[in-house]
Amino acid sequence: MNSYPIPRTCPLDPPSEYRDPRSGRPIRRVRLDFDGSEVWLVTRYEDARAVLGDARFSSDFATPGFPARLTSQPPGPGTFIRMDPPDHSRLRRLLLPEFNRRRVEALRPAIRRIAGALVDELAAQGPPADLVEALALPLPSQVITELLGVPYEDRDYFHETTKVIGDRNVEPEQRMKVREDLRHYLERLVAEREQRPVDDLLSRLGAHREAARVSREEVVGIATLLMVAGYETIANQIGVGTVALLENPDRLTELRERPEALPAAVEEIIRHQTVIDYGARRAATADVEVGGQTIKQGEGVVVVLAAANRDEEAWAEPDRLDFSRFGDLTDRQEHLSFGFGIHQCMGQLLARAQLEIAWSTLFDRLPGLRLAVPLDEVPFRSDMFVYGVHALPVTWG
């Protein structure tokens, strides 16, 4: 029995072993190297959609058979990504209006201002530079503080906090302490916003939470989830997506010559470079047949989104970066980078806006951008739940 996860041989491609089970054994048992437990591994596109779209597969940490990682502590109140209906529905419903198209479009000027200031500062400092430190980390951190309504005098604290949480060199005990400090800060901020509301997400959640039967503790949990999850995924998508563009100069030229292709390019980049590397975890609450295989009640499942997004049955030449796949955004195959089903990422419009603005600003203002080291010297995050780069040395001019 193989262990999971499987190490990559090429940093920009999922392991080739994920393709083997598609010819005969599309779903197979593997042993998690985190705790030795056995789960079903799902790698095909159609099977992934089947599991993620079926309510008989639970996202609840407490469900028997759920693939917990490193005996992690159960998620706290408000962590709706680890809940099933009705609690999942109750919490998600409160948050949905904050991520609709109108709200995201209203945030675009702020995102442009933040990205422009960061790239201007990068250009002023001159090459070489670490693009992760200069843009990929601070952009989503500043956007999420803008969204939540964190007071300006506290934003440096927030940015330093998110850096510590995402730093692999920080001891787990220190990281947990920082997260606990963040929770206490958010508790105070949520209480303050309920007393003195302004025009921000926390104030609106506070105003509507009682009608939605949501506790203040759950609002704090939602805010913490947005801080940590939204920040880390976007930061790493900017990093590894930039590497993919720099390693495909024809696509970068296409993007510069046809800026209107940017939305399609963003879709293709996040399909090609799926940062949720460990996969979407579920546990069966009944016997379910998927891809000709019966998954029994109480058995865990890991859906490898990166492999499903490279399934040759769903995508022609899936390893090629090809913006034309999403040329018509109204009639296209849907990638799984934001998940599928009731747990599909509700912040995906905001994620797309940040990626569009980050890459357009970066390549407009630094047209000669390139890697400052060979690809094999870029420190990829092969040891983390979210894939990406720990640092991205670049130069230009």
What is the predicted pLDDT for the residue at 71?
46
What is the predicted pLDDT for the residue at 240?
98
Nearest alpha carbon to residue 178 among 162, 189, 191, 155: 162
What is the predicted pLDDT for the residue at 170?
75
pLDDT in tens, the chain (397 residues): 688 888 899 999 998 888 765 555 678 999 988 778 899 999 999 999 999 999 999 999 889 999 876 445 667 888 888 899 999 999 999 999 999 999 999 999 999 999 999 999 999 999 999 999 999 999 998 998 888 888 878 878 877 787 777 665 678 788 788 888 888 898 999 999 999 999 899 999 999 999 999 999 999 999 888 887 778 899 999 999 999 999 999 999 999 899 999 999 999 999 999 998 878 999 999 999 999 899 999 999 999 999 999 999 999 999 999 999 987 655 567 999 999 999 999 999 999 999 999 999 999 999 999 999 999 999 998 877 789 999 999 999 8
What is the predicted pLDDT for the residue at 70?
46
> What does the alpha-carbon distance between residue 27 and residue 45 come to, in Å, rounded to a whole number?
11
Contact residues for 25 (Cβ-Cβ < 8 A; gap 6+): none
What is the predicted pLDDT for the residue at 332?
64
- Entry pTM: 0.92
Transcribe 224-237 into DSSP letters: HHIIIIIHHHHHHH
> What does the alpha-carbon distance between residue 188 and residue 13 come to, in Å, rounded to a whole number?
43
What is the predicted pLDDT for the residue at 349?
95
Nearest alpha carbon to residue 271 among 324, 308, 242: 308
Phi and psi (nearest 5°) for 390?
A: -75, -35
Please report the sign of the dihedral spanned by the C-alpha atoms of residue 279, residue 268, residue 247, residue 391. Answer: negative
What is the predicted pLDDT for the residue at 69?
64
Number of H-type helices and E-type strands within the chain: 14, 11
> What does the alpha-carbon distance between residue 123 and residue 126 come to, in Å, rounded to a whole number?
5
CB 202 within 8 A of CB 194: no
